[in-house]
Amino acid sequence: MSAQIPEVRSTEQLREKWMKPEVITGSEILLRSLLLEGVECVFGYPGGAVLYIYDAMYGFEDFKHVLTRHEQGAIHAADGYARASGKVGVCIATSGPGATNLVTGIATAYMDSVPLVVITGNVATTLIGTDAFQEADITGITMPITKHSYLVRDVKELPRVIHEAFHIASTGRKGPVLIDIPKDVSAALTLFEPSSNAVNLRGYNPRMVPNKLQLDKLAQAIEEAERPMILAGGGVIYSGGHEALFEFVKRTEIPITTTLLGLGAFPSGHELWTGMPGMHGTYTSNIAIQESDLLINIGARFDDRVTGKLDGFAPHAKIVHIDIDPAEIGKNVPTDIPIVGDVKTVLEMLNPEVKRAAKADAWRTRIQQLKMEQPFRYQDSDTVLKPQWVIEMLNETTRGEAIVTTDVGQHQMWSAQYYKFNQPRSWITSGGLGTMGFGLPSAIGAQMAHPERLVISINGDGGMQMCSQELAICAINNIPVKVVIINNQVLGMVRQWQELIYDNRYSHIDLEGSPDFVKLAEAYGVKGLRATNKEEARKAWAEALETPGPVVVEFVVSKGENVYPMVTQGSTIDQMLLGDA
């Protein structure tokens, strides 16, 4: 069976075919408008309020839709598609429970600034507010977790609304936009007049170009700094600014740390890269931030998992914050040099003006010493399979070139620590919300975006059970995702906290009685493999890589392994638990 991954179609070809004015239904307007926005694939699940929309899909060969097995799977797949491709992800669900099942995925995308257009059906306009069957105020429910939302009451507004939604989702600080379409609107007839004009929304004008005087201040601060440090986040990747960042580091020779969502924004093999900072970051990154006299934040939001105790964060540093969202600057950490603008634009303007940080030679030596003194380490075993070793094996056998998605928990942190990313959009994980169940469906979306790439979904045995039904999509469409399960028979990160912080009071974390994951995979028509030691692991993973379709590989690992380093809540990031390794 060949993979049912949609071919990329020319937007210009679609324009010529579908822009002709004619009287059609709101549902047909929606499908045509999505095609005209360049949408390649939509993930969704039908229901009563969107039946006119799904009826319009019948026989519509240009429109590609993937039927997931749960609405949460649909929105996580759209999210993974968006993160991997840089395009807007799209999903569709019906009213009421269908729409509310999307809430977790919307919040996930909102926290991580992922561009989505989320389409929901609703009851007819005449029934709104009557508590009709499967009615929910989804625009009200999601107001805090969307960039913008629309309740479309007139079919004539649909082309404009869809065009605006894509503009809002994909510009400025990216994020999800919701379009709620009542059933009678999707059924109504009107003359289709595509909206292709430039969007001009009052009050929405993201600032792309920074203040030149602020760039001059930063250039001067770099010249004067003796211990400069760069903190780069997901904003670098979302703006397409990774090449400009590399040039900036090349010119200044400033050491750089990348956040969880910033992994891949800078090559992990570079001598100036210090790893990830924060709660489970490297010793080098955390000490360097604390000792720095100039901290240049590029596209990160000073999340609490990065900063630790705020009043002890980077105590000696002048803080520079570059971000497209002015609301983030100064929100958590007082900022000395605020720079509002698109990261790529800022760096491209800045690069010709900056020079090598000449006073930082001793600092660069100090960084290299820290890297040698305290690398990531663990106690390996020849009898028990260690999860860190599994991630190292995945990295070595794929040369760090795969797209890796993860669920949330210990395996997520080990993946961030031991898999080495050298390309942007190769690391897809739920950062801000920490959503279990994200790993598998996001991998499906990533594979749809890049059918030519190897996509690995790394999951824990807990999170895997939250969206395991999406294995059906892999089997039916022959989507060749390699699904890795790090099975420690326990909710690992919760167990670690209960061990270290709650005096070994292990409460409701035992996952014994979970399904046989090999049999579960086979029940869906997917090859399933299991490994309990290194020899079996190498063999099973080699077989998975040689298999052209989807494969589930379960690695049974030691139960009591902890993620180190670890910064506990209420501590500064230089107060790390390093473990006994």
Specify if 4 maps to a domain: no
pLDDT at 194: 87
| Tally of domains within the chain | 3
DSSP string computed for 292-320: -SEEEEES----HHHHBSGGGSSTTPEEE
pLDDT at 581: 56
Q: What are 201-213's pLDDT values in tens digits?
A: 999 999 999 999 9
**Same domain? 436 vs 503:** yes
**Same domain? 180 vs 128:** yes
349 classed as catalytic: no
Listed in sequence order, the residues at least 6 apart from 539 whose beta carbon sits closer than 8 Å to its beta carbon are 531
Q: Of 332, 348, 373, which closes a domain?
A: 373
**Same domain? 233 vs 143:** no
Pairing label, strands 551-556, 482-487 = parallel
Q: How many residues does the chain have?
A: 581
Among 436, 493, 566, 576, the one annotated catalytic: 493
Specify if 202 maps to a domain: no
**Same domain? 164 vs 218:** no
Q: What is the CATH number of the domain that holds 240?
A: 3.40.50.1220
Q: Of 320, 345, 373, which closes a domain?
A: 373
250 classed as catalytic: no
**Same domain? 285 vs 167:** no
**Same domain? 187 vs 321:** no
Among 183, 318, 371, 482, the one annotated catalytic: 183
Among 16, 20, 133, 212, the one annotated catalytic: 133
134 classed as catalytic: yes
Among 28, 37, 40, 71, the one annotated catalytic: 71
374 classed as catalytic: no
What predicted TM-score, i.e. pTM, was given to this entire model?
0.95
183 classed as catalytic: yes
pLDDT at 197: 77
Q: Provide the Cα torsion 189, 195, 200, 204; round to 10°.
A: 70
**Domain region containing 546:** 387-563
Give the Cβ contact number of residue 383 at 10 Å: 8
Listed in sequence order, the residues at least 6 apart from 30 whose beta carbon sits closer than 8 Å to its beta carbon are 53, 56, 119, 158, 162, 181, 186
**Same domain? 41 vs 180:** yes
Residues in the chain where the model's pLDDT stays below 50: 1-3, 6, 8-9
Q: What is the CATH number of the domain that holds 422?
A: 3.40.50.970
Among 134, 368, 374, 489, the one annotated catalytic: 134
